[in-house]
Each structure stands twice: as structure tokens, then as C-alpha cells.
Amino acid sequence: MSVYSHRPVVPGPQNRIIEMLDAIRAEFDQLVRDVYLNKTEKENIEHKMTTQLQEMHNFQQNLLEIERQQQAMKKQYEEEIARLRQQLEQAQVRAGHPPPPPPGSNSNNGNGNTNSPHPPPPHQQPQQQQQQQQQPPSIGPGSNYFGGIMNAHGNGNSQQQGPPGLMAPPQGGDHAVPPHYPSSSQAPPPPPPGSAPGYMNGSGQQGYGYPPRGGPSPGTPSSSHATPISNNDPAGTPKRQSASSMNGPPMPSAASGGPSGGPPPPPPGNNAMVAQRPKNQMGPSTPVGLADVDPDNVPPNMKVEGRDWFALFNPKTTRYLKVDLLHSIDHSSVVCCVKFSADGRWMAAGCNRATYIYDVSTSALSCVLQDDSVQKDGDLYIRSVCFSPDGKYLATGAEDKQIRIWDIERRQIRNVFRGHEQDIYSLDFSRDGRVIVSGSGDRTVRIWSMTEQKEMHCIPIQDLDQKDPGVTSVAISPDSRLVAAGSLDKMVRVWDIHTGQPLERLEGHKDSVYSVAFMPDGRTLVSGSLDKTIKMWQLGTNDGRSGYGVDRDRSKGPCKMTFTGHKDFVLSVACTPDGNWIVSGSKDRGVQFWDPRTGQTQFMLQGHKNSVISVAISPSGRPLFATGSGDNRARIWSYEPQPHRKC
């Protein structure tokens, strides 16, 4: 037996671990190689995709360039063809043969339109789009007057939910500015507002330019209004690039229908004019208004032009005024209303959530009035603003149904009037400063006492035969004894301001009334409507209870005169302090000055890129007026008399 003990030889545990680690390392190396191969393949695929995308982009650019070249060639050929056709027509006229009609065109249909298989030229398309948006949207509880705006006007804005002109600010497109209006069965939705509507965007694109409006400034006969932004126009009219396109397509010129070969004279009281036509053009003469005239083809003595605006004067009447732009003030939203202070020193502009007060002489911003206690979410358009006669206070009416009275010097709210159940569209101060009147989509006019800080009268419109008498505009007479209101049911109504008793119910408009204003004599009332007209009314006698009476020949009816010439909704009207002129703003983006004695328009002004929602006249006697538009701008203009000419 050996002295040593022998054990069997077996591999130690350490060697086994090393073998397992080697196996794991080999597997890991294999996975790393696989990952590297996959990564390389991925990079190759991504490189190929990038190369293909770049090739596709280059291909698109080439297509666009080819398309641009094709369009340029097409335009060149069209111009050359038009030139050759004109030469041919002239040669035929000289030879005594009438020129043939252009290829593919049919005869005139009698209203200046032709049945052509080809689409209208670009400068005519915006006007046609506007004609499809003539009816305002319904304004009822919960509706947003500015909401549909200026999508077009923005334009896209024809679907806004409030009265035209009161549209919401544009989010793109030709926005007309847009707010909300009382629901109306007779008012189909417009485009913001806005109206706007659709509101108009700041770029002047389509939006809603419908009318929110502010009440007349103290001491001035101008009235307040309510309008939308097309959807940004808060709803609005399609964007137009050139001056001529802003004014609508030029009307076809016409040959004379008079016995001497010249154009027949317009009927008395008609402010129409006849566009000049080429000598070789045949056919009867067609009278057209200033809004129909191509501004690029008018005599120099008929036109005044600024950097981004122009005015066309009526060749059928004596020229008494000259107009000029003094200040243009940009805002971040649709300008729903503008108003001057009684001394003419300040101008207020109501926008989204804030009211801005400017020095009229310098256009410097004096202060911003904004209620910080209001929820920050969503829009809150200031539809109407109005200074107190002493200039210390500013009343604002908004979509939250409240009337705020601001102490301007302290930038604080003095008090709030509550009671309306829908948006407030219009405000007006009495000249003695004791009373303020408001109009709302809840179909009421309310009279508030500034001294007692409470409601004096709530005047509901309860006519059974009217489907939607939502109130769009209110105005107080210069003697502070009457209050007038325009409404969606096409009516203008007048009440005794002290008793609330009804005095007048004026019928004649064919669509909603968006603005009312008293003339300085206090016996004449002016109204603007979605039927594209302005009417001047003479107030009549009542039963004597109010002690207010005006003589008139009732056999002729209350309407003294109707002014026609705008191409779209009349959203705002005002009167100059001397009573010599009536001023109107329209969704056709134009402002017109009218002579109330003759019914003739003095001039038509184009300068805004969207609906003119509000116009206001300085009551101080200085010849200034202001405009607010769905293009997010407020402008201050002068309308001084021509030298050596008396109004």
C-alpha cells in the first residue's frame, strides 16, 4: 500500500467558466458583425431614398419652371392675339364693316354678361365670389358673430355666423371681419367677419369684414354698428392684388343709345355714370356706378391716388371735396369699430379683447383698455365703442353681453352694465352725457342712466310678424329725445328715449339694416342695409305724447331718398356735423360720400383690403373721418373742401 492517496483527475470549475465565456464572446462578435451589416444596409437604403427624393424635388422644380414658362408664353401670345384682333377690328371699322365677335363667345345676355365657355379673367373672379356671399349668417343664441369670418373673410368666410361685417379676424385669406348676430331666418350664413370675418387676415387676404359697430361718438350724428370679420374679413371678400381688382371687374363699355349717338343721360337723382368705350365697340350704353368703373382707365381729373389707395370722383356732379389719407394704424385683429371723441382729439378702435385710443393728430397710441379679469381663452371682440361728451369715459360693448364704462385717465373700469342676454352690437351716448343706449342680438334696446348707474328702460321688439328683430345698431338724436334702432328684420324703429314709447316703424329696406345715424337736424334719419342701399327717412308726427313732432307730407311716405351704388352690403353709415354729406362703408371695401340734397355720390374711396366695417366722422368740425376694416387696419382721412368751392 502506497503512502500517498491518489484521486481521479477531473477538470477544475475555473476551466469550465472560461469555455463558456469564450462561447459568449464568439456569439457577441457574430451579433456585432450582423448589426454592422444591417447598419450598412440601412445607410445604403437611406442614401438611395435621399437621392430619389432629391431627384423628385428637382423634377417638381423643373415642372414648375416649365409651367411658369408656359404661362408666360401663353400670356405673351394672348396679348399678341388681342393686339392683332384690335388692329383687325380697327381696320374693319375703317372699312365700314362691324368686327366679328371673339371666338367662342356668345351674345350679351342683356345684363352685361356673356355666356362664354371660358372662366372669367382673374380680376373678375373675386367679385363673382363675393356675389355668392350676399346673405348674412344666422345670429342666434350661442352663435359667434365673428366666428365664420374671414376664413375668407377669410374669405372663406362666407360661412360666418353673424351679421356681415362682424366677422372674426382672418386666419388667412381675404378676411372680412366677423362677429355674431342675432339669429335670423332670413339671413343665411355668410363666409369672417368676419365677416372675418371669415375674418380677414392682416395680409389683406380674404376674411370676414362684417360689421361689428360702435355707437356714434358723443356730439356726432354718426351711428354705431355691428359687423363681422370674414373669417377674417373675419369673413370676407376674396383677396385682390391690384387697385382695379379691389374695385371689382371693369364693366363692359357701351355704345350710345341716344339719338345723336352719344350716351343717354342718366335719370334724375341717379348717380350712375357711363364708362367710356372704344369707338369700334357697338351696342347700347350701359350706365354704371363708380364702384363699376375700372380705376386704371379713367381720366386723371376724375381720380386721386395715394400709395395704396385711390378715390374716383363722380364726373356727373360738381367736385366739392378733396380727400387724403392722414394715418394708417395696423392692429393684430379685425378693427370692428372706430369712434372720435367730441373734441375730435382722440379716436378709439375696438378690436379683439382690447380697445385702443389714439391721438388723432399724430396717430400715437395713448392707452389700451383691456379687462384683465376676463378669461384669456378664446376671442372677445369689442363690437362698439363710444366716448362720453366730456371725453372722460369710454363705453365698450362686447361679445360677453356686458357694457363697460372706462375711466380713460385711470385706465380702469368705472362700472359695468349687465342685463343683455346676447352680444352687444351698438352703443351711443346722449349729448348731455346722462344716458347711454345699447342694442343687442337679444332683440332689445336698453336705456341706461349714467347718473344713477342703472337701467332705465328695456325696450323689447316683439312684433309677431317679424322672425328675427335682433338689434344691430342704435343712435340717439342730437336733442337727446329720440332713440333709433336698425335690426335684422329690415326695420328701422324710433322710440321716445324718456318713456320708451314707440314713435316710428320705418319699412322699405329689402334686407337687414346694419347701421343707423341721425342727421344734425334731428328730424332726418339715415340707414344702411345688406340690400346694398342707404335710405334717408323723414320722421313724422306722433300722437303728441312725447311732445315731439315733425311736419311732413305723409302721402309721399317716410323715405325721402334711396342711395344706390355700393356693390355689396352697406355695413356702416354716418353724417357730417354740417349735414352736407352722408358717408357709408361697405363690404365692397369702399367708402362713398353722398350729397343728401341730390342723391349723387361725390366720390368713391378704395384703400382697405377687406370690408369697411365701421366709419366715423369727427364731430369737432375738423373735416376728418375714420374707417375700421377686416384687414386689421384703422385709417384716418381728411375730406377738406376744394379751394374756392363752397359746400
CB of 204 closer than 8 Å to CB of 610: yes
Cα first-last separation, the chain: 150
Query: In a 3-state reduction of DSSP, which class is residue 326?
Result: strand
pLDDT value, residue 617: 98
Neighbours of 420 (CB within 10 A): 23
pLDDT for res 194: 36
Q: 3-class SS at 338?
A: strand
Question: In the 8-state DSSP scheme, what is residue 583?
Answer: E
Q: What is the pLDDT of residue 252?
A: 32
Rounded CA gap, 647 and 644, in Å? 10
CA separation for the pair 295, 70 (Å, rounded)? 30
Q: Look at residue 362 in the predicted model and tell me its pLDDT.
A: 96
HSE toward the beta carbon, residue 60, CA cutoff 13 A? 5
Starting at the earlier edge strand, list the strands of the sheet with 570-575. Answer: 303-305, 310-313, 601-606, 590-594, 582-586, 570-575
Those residues of the chain that have pLDDT short of 50 are 1, 98, 101-288, 541-555
pLDDT recorded at residue 96: 60
Judging by DSSP bridges, how do beta strands 166-167 and 228-229 pair with one another?
parallel
Residue indicated by cell numbers 378693427: 335
pLDDT for 357 equals 98
Instruction: Write down the pTM of the prediction.
Output: 0.61
pLDDT of residue 464: 76
Which residues fall within 8 angstroms of residue 259, CB to CB, at 6 or more apart?
none
One-letter amino acid of 166: L
The amino acid at 78: E
Give me the domains of the chain, ranges plus CATH numbers. Answer: 130-243+292-647 (2.130.10.10)
Average pLDDT, rounded, for the chain: 74
Burial degree of 219 (CB within 10 A; 0-12, 13-18, 19+): buried
Pairwise CA distance, residues 566 & 590, whole Å? 8
Q: pLDDT of 130-142, one tens digit each?
A: 444 444 433 333 3
Say which residue the cell 362720453 belongs to. 388
Contact 239, 191 (CB under 8 A): no
pLDDT tens per residue, range 25-39? 999 999 999 999 999
